[in-house]
Amino acid sequence: MSLMPNAGGDPGPALQALAEQAHQALDDVRQLYEFERQSLAADARVTSFLSIFALRNVRARLLEPAPGEAQDLALH
């Protein structure tokens, strides 16, 4: 399943897939997505791709380890 919003702009299926992949509740992922989207929209001149960038940011926050965490793993 794709982790990108569908052609109609509905991020629902992508958020569902991301929630499953990150082992998080869909409501929590949706709230994080809306927060990211609103944050990006505040300064955006072009809004066509906000859903893509918001989803990318949410994916990064949920799936990528924190910088300090990655270093700790590398040292052990």
Distance set, CA 74 to CA 8, 60, 62, 65, 71 (Å): 42, 19, 20, 12, 5
Q: Domain of 51?
A: 12-75
User: Cα separation of 69 and 38, whole Å?
Assistant: 28
At 11-42, the pLDDT tens digits run 889 999 999 999 999 999 999 999 999 999 99
- pLDDT band, residue 6 (cuts 50/70/90): very low
Query: Residue 52 falls within a domain, yes or no?
Result: yes
What pLDDT was estimated at residue 27?
Answer: 95
Which pTM value belongs to this model? Answer: 0.73
Does residue 70 sit within a domain? yes
Report the range of poorest mean pLDDT among 4-13, 27-36, 60-69: 4-13
CB 41 within 8 A of CB 53: no
Residue 69 pLDDT class (50, 70, 90 cuts): low
Q: How far is C-alpha 54 from the chain's CA centre? A: 6
Kindly state whether residue 64 falls inside one of the protein's structural domains: yes
Residue 3 lies in a domain: no
- What is the total count of domains within the chain? 1
